[in-house]
Structure 1
Amino acid sequence: MKLAGLTVAYWSVLAAALLPIACAWLAKSGMFSKPRREGGFDNQNPRDWLARQHDWRARANAAQANSFEALPLFIGAVIIAHQLGAAQIRLDILAFLFVVLRVLHIMMYVANMPTARSAVWTVALVVNIAILFV
């Protein structure tokens, strides 16, 4: 299936690429209007500011890093599957499922559910590998 010339799998790549940005926004949310001297977001040194965060903000930042780490294999798998002429419906379903699992992973990361988060991460990895063999 195509929308605006792109398959669902390719749209899923775009969605997955936006997930780290969503995690960064979440980690910084509510801190933009607060002055820096009171612990508000420091756009001059954003990485230092994020490194000093704790609890759910730190976990949201860690989810951002993990989301970036998951991207290369997913992008590569989708491109390879397209090049090899994978069954489009299967590829679209698996790619969409990967994004759904990554969103669940982020939610569990922020909610501090490490065991469930790791299980979802594993399933997402298996789905990603399955994309290569569609």
Structure 2
Amino acid sequence: MTVAEWCIFTTVLLYLLTIAPIKWIGSRHYDNSRPRDPAFYQDPIRSRALGAHQNGIETFPFFAIAVLLAEFRVAPQNLINELALLFLIVRIAYILTYLGDRPSLRSILWNLGFAINTAIFFLPLIRRYLPI
């Protein structure tokens, strides 16, 4: 498996690990028979963790498809790997800014992550112009 493919798997773990600790820490108030109970997420940190988790689910398909398409279309693997790692780092920073209630920085990081995904997606198109 390539580094980029491991990044796909890590991205799944990342969005799961965004919400799991919040549920565990708040286990006295969390009812697993009602996992989407809005009352549990009224706490600000829980609400932000849920938002970060949901955003991870929303961004995952584009990232996974971009990586797999770039690999399928034989874009330079080292570039795919580097961009995938960069995306993962940006996602970690995004989650931390989401949890830390830094909306402006969070938006910048979201846009940076989207730009990285777009770059991965278009690597096959521009590969002949790359000096690799």
- In the superposition, the TM-score normalised over structure 2's length comes to 0.88
1:21 aligns with 2:16: yes
Matching residue of 1:133: 122
Q: Using the alignment, how far apart are the partners of 1:28 and 1:73 within structure 2?
A: 27
Q: Using the alignment, how far apart are the partners of 1:75 and 1:50 within structure 2?
A: 33
* Contact 1:60 1:110 (C-alpha < 8 Å) held by counterparts: yes
Matching residue of 1:37: none
Matching residue of 2:65: 76
- For residue 20 of structure 1, what is the amino acid of its counterpart? Y
Report the Cα offset of residue 122 of structure 1.
0.3
Give the alignment partner of residue 12 of structure 1, picking from 7, 10, 13.
Answer: 7
The two structures, once aligned, show a CA RMSD in angstroms of 1.3
* Contact 2:4 2:67 (C-alpha < 8 Å) held by counterparts: yes
The ranges of structure 1 where at least 4 consecutive aligned residues each deviate by more than 4 angstroms after the TM superposition are: none
The structure with the greater share of residues assigned to helix is 2
1:101 aligns with 2:96: no
Q: Using the alignment, how far apart are the partners of 1:50 and 1:92 within structure 2?
A: 41
Aligned residue for 1:72, secondary structure, equals: helix
Q: Using the alignment, how far apart are the partners of 2:67 and 2:88 within structure 1?
A: 12
Give the alignment partner of residue 56 of structure 2, picking from 62, 67, 72.
Answer: 67
Q: Using the alignment, how far apart are the partners of 2:79 and 2:110 within structure 1?
A: 20
Aligned residue for 2:36, secondary structure, equals: helix
Q: Which runs of 5+ in 2 are unaligned?
A: 124-132
Aligned residues: 123
Matching residue of 2:128: none
- In the superposition, the TM-score normalised over structure 1's length comes to 0.87
Report the Cα offset of residue 49 of structure 1.
5.0
- For residue 12 of structure 2, what is the amino acid of its counterpart? A
- 1:129–1:102 distance in 2 versus 1, CA, 3 Å: same
Report the Cα offset of residue 17 of structure 1.
1.1
Q: Which runs of 5+ in 1 are unaligned?
A: 1-5, 35-39
Report the Cα offset of residue 50 of structure 1.
6.3
- 1:51–1:41 distance in 2 versus 1, CA, 3 Å: closer
Report the Cα offset of residue 18 of structure 1.
1.2
Q: Deviations over 1:41-75 (max 9, x none)?
A: 11110111565432111100110000000011001
Q: Using the alignment, how far apart are the partners of 1:55 and 1:129 within structure 2?
A: 32
